[in-house]
Structure 1
Amino acid sequence: MSPRKGLNGLVVKIASRCNLNCSYCYMYNMGDESYRQLPKIMTDAVVDQLIERTARHCEDFKLRDFEFILHGGEPLLAGKPFLTRFVEKAKKRFEAKRMKLRIGIQTNGVLLDEAWCKLLSASSINIGISIDGPAGWHDKYRKDHQLNGTHAKTLLGLRAAQNEKCKVGVLSVMDASSDPRSMYEYFNQLGIDDLDFLWPDHNYEKLPELYIRRSRAPGYTPFGDWWIRLFDCWFADRFSKPRIRFLNQVILMILGRDAGFESIGQEENRYLIVETDGGIEASDYLKACGDGFTKEGLNVGNHEFSEAFDTPLMKMHRQSHQVMSETCMQCKIREVCGGGHIAHRFGNGNGFDNPSIYCFDLMKLLTHIQNTLLGQLSAKTIREAGLVEMSYEDVLESINMHNC
């Protein structure tokens, strides 16, 4: 067994409430009510404990680079004074040890204005904004607590960040019933350079609506088909092509130049969550698995982050691309797929011992991307990467079944 590696970063929940009420949110609308027991804003005392634990973790594992992703709820609800104190304390502690600290923030964008953007820019904080596409799609899901759409306010926030020359990326939850080309053109028109689409947070206990309307089967891959159309549009774009994280990393993994990340690949998941009360948890996407599902009793006030390596859920999350179902272990594309995101495997009475709910979709998409690359790469690159043409049917046959 290889030596344990330290964390790459932490998702820090500096606010546990949100000014929006998005219908698909794993925090508030997927059955987990544990947020009600959390402080609305992280206290300075917890911040101090968090920074000290993190610095010691970096020292123990000889890490020279670390990332804080400020998250929520809606992190801007913590306020400018809180954010200023957090950044000053964190940078002072890390700079004293000559460690590089990167800080990002993921926001719904509604509260972003010139003053916020000046502060974030001055603090060298990268901004991620959640936008689900044009108003008709965005407002379908991303509403405020009065059930009003939030697209117009979110775009004002995006423009404020762009005007201040902030480094901005956009995160969008994909809707397989939307038109991928229209989505791509919309984000291009907004001038987005860094873009990613998330697979919706479903599992075997909470099936996607498209799978409820029609039985899930190898011949029905609405999510994979959506991604294929998006990939073809993006891949053919020879001009102002944005970086789409998921597609970029799939290509790098197929070429053997990247090990992946939380949702796909072979890499260990080396990020953890810290809640507003200091609670240390695995991926917050796992909140979609049940009320209080991610609570394992660890806290920055009493525990080192290395202790999280051995709790059942955090250990499973960390090793999710190495510990897969028997079906996944038979699969020809397991080294790229990695079983998909652990949150999408839950249910059927088997816990996480299932292929992803999006198994067939991933198979179809990944084989399509690999075969497309084969038509574009040199013979030398193909030989070095060990690539061969592989059909969707080939992969289905490799798992010796047509149902996962």
Structure 2
Amino acid sequence: MRRTITGGPALPAPRGPAAPTAPAVLAAQARHARHAPWPYARLDVPALRAAGHHPHPVRQFVLKTHSRCNLACTYCYVYEMADQSWRTRPAAMAPATALRAADRIAEHAAAHGLPRVDLVLHGGEPLLAAPAELAAPVDAVRAALARRSPGTRVTASVQTNATLLTRGRIAALAAAGIRIGVSLDGGLPAHNARRVDHAGRPGFGAAARGLRLLARHPAAYAGVLCVADVAQDPVETYESLLAFAPPAIGLLLPLANWSAPPPGPPGPATATPYGDWLVAVFERWWHEPARRTRIRIFEEVIALLLGLPAATESLGLAPATTAVVETDGSIEQADSLKSAYEGAAATGMTLDTHSFDDLLDHPGFAARQLGREALAADCRSCPLVEVCGGGHYPHRYREGEGFHQPSVYCADLQTLIRHIARAVHTAATNRRPAS
């Protein structure tokens, strides 16, 4: 029986005629249905739309400007996990592809009256391209929007491993209005033992030099992304990152799922190793006399506990609004899905054959816009669902069943959210004036 999910907030969207179902789209759907019956075999998107559940437009566009990397990190989801599609793609996005992407983005922004679009230049390692080449897609999007949707503004950032950052590159990117985010596993060499180049040499020294340069340009510095590693001391990891003066830190859970569980701690097993790790960092961050940086996961949990919107795809019930454009012009879903199975991010759509409106009706994309209704029964009845939101979508995957389970980090998330809730409640109580 096909499952139809209805309801949810309506956002009217202009809809053109549906694109023909290309062989590549059919092939991708068949692959998805084998690995993930939910949503690909059970979510009836036409019935969903007929029942009045309108899609939310894409607002963030990840442009895979370079599909190769100068590092060979042993845990990388692009190169070392289930999906190996990078092998068949061009190393760099051609100028014609960037121009086509810009036109499609402007088309989408104009159709939906978007006040802003966010561009993320991603890889691989984007800085394998020269700064002028890296800025070209951003310039193309700005030019296309000026023609087709002049009320839409652009934010742009690049995510890099920092090993190729120089004063000149930082200045050039800043001049182009591109902020720089860095991926790092911690601020000490020992934290980054798995971040090595293709000859097995450590990449931390070059990354640290790049980060020290970036810290001198705070206007261009977007922050640091760090994957939680329960083999490392959490407070040491946090404080070591502060040495690079990041304006924000994104603490991420490792990309794992029920069929490929996350690594456990090196010592005795605990019920919630990742929750405990994050709680230790929260305690140090929360009780500091002066806030030295933002930590996004903590701020997002606090906002959601207070009933405020939080801009995240890993927590809460807000709809997913991110699309990826690969170097060959393929339109894909969030590439974190590549940790699940071969082709998990694929749609079979390309810039030449489909618009971003077409992506909105893709079952995988539609499922991530359904909020509570797309979650497992245990999640829907959980008192923390408004905050947790079922957890990050790739973390819900189980081979042969799909993405209709609670997060593989469910217990960890409960530990973290309940701890933060108690801290917020205590702080509010202490501030309350005596009667």
TM-score scaled by length of structure 1: 0.89
Structure 1: distance between partners of 2:137 and 2:68: 19
Say if 2:211 and 2:244, in contact at 8 Å, map to a contact too: no
Deviation at 1:359, TM superposition (A): 0.5
Give the 3 Å change call, closer, same or farther, for CA 341–288 of structure 1 in structure 2: same
Mapped partners of 1:136, 1:262: distance in 2: 30
Partner SS state of residue 296, structure 1: coil
Amino acid at match of 1:169: G
Shift of 1:85: 2.5
Corresponding position of 1:168: 222
By how many angstroms is 1:79 displaced?
Answer: 2.2
Q: How far apart are residue 321 of structure 1 and its match?
A: 5.3
The aligned counterpart of 1:177 is 231
User: Compared with structure 1, are the counterparts of its residues 264 and 362 closer, same or farther at alpha carbon in structure 2 (3 Å cutoff)?
Assistant: same
- 1:221 paired with 2:255, answer no
2:225, 2:250 within 8 Å by CA — same for their partners in 1?
yes
Shift of 1:259: 4.3
2:74 matched residue in structure 1: 23
The separation in 2 between residues aligned to 1:26 and 1:51, in whole angstroms, is 27
Give the match for residue 248 of structure 2.
194
Equivalent runs, 1:14-93 vs 2, <5 Å: 14-93=65-144
Q: Distance in 2 between matches of 1:299 and 1:380?
A: 54
Moved more, 4-13 or 157-166: 157-166
Aligned runs of 1:226-245 on 2, under 5 Å?
Answer: 226-245=277-296
Offset, 1:311: 1.4
**Structure 2 counterpart of 1:123:** 176
Identical residues among aligned pairs (%): 33
CA distance in 1, matches of 2:273, 2:323: 31
1:350 to 392, 398, 401: 401
The answer to whether the 8 A contact 1:181-1:230 is kept is yes
What is the SS of the residue equivalent to 2:342? coil
Query: 2 CA distance for matches of 1:289 and 1:49?
Result: 29
Query: SS at 1:16's partner residue?
Result: coil
RMSD: 2.0
Aligned match of 2:207: 154
**Greater relative contact order, per chain length (Cα 8 Å cut-off, separation 6+):** 2
The within-5 A match list for 1:205-354 is 205-210=259-264, 220-319=271-370, 322-347=373-398, 349-354=400-405
Unaligned runs of 5+ in 1: 382-404
Distance 1:135 1:102 in 2: 31
Bigger mean CA deviation after superposition, 270-279 or 95-104: 95-104
Q: Deviations over 1:38-85 (max 9, x none)?
A: 111001111111000100100000101111000001111132231232
Runs of 4+ aligned structure 1 residues displaced above 4 Å come to 211-215, 378-381
Partner of 2:152: 99
- 8 Å CA contact 1:324–1:354 kept in 2: the answer is yes
Shift of 1:261: 1.6
Q: Name whichever of 161-170 and 198-207 sits farther off.
A: 161-170
**Per-residue CA shift, 1:353-377, capped at 9, x if unaligned?**
1111000001111011101111111
**Alignment partner of 1:155: what SS?**
helix
Kept after mapping to 2: 8 A contact 1:266/1:322? no
Segments of 5+ residues of structure 2 without an aligned counterpart are: 1-6, 12-54
Does residue 132 (structure 1) correspond to residue 185 (structure 2)? The answer is yes
Say yes or no: does 1:204 pair with 2:258. yes
Instruction: Tell whether the 8 Å contact from 1:259 to 1:266 is kept in structure 2 after alignment.
Output: no
Amino acid at match of 1:128: G
1:86, 1:264 → 2: CA distance? 30
User: Which stretch shifts more, 139-148 or 203-212?
Assistant: 203-212
Q: For residue 207 of structure 1, report the CA deviation from its aligned partner.
A: 1.2
Aligned partners of 1:340, 1:326: CA distance in 2, in Å?
14
In the alignment, the residues of structure 1 paired with residue 169 and residue 143 of structure 2 have an alpha-carbon distance, to the nearest angstrom, of 22
* Alpha-carbon shift at residue 87 of structure 1 (Å): 2.9
2:184/2:192 contact within 8 Å kept: no
Change (3 A) 1:283 1:213: farther
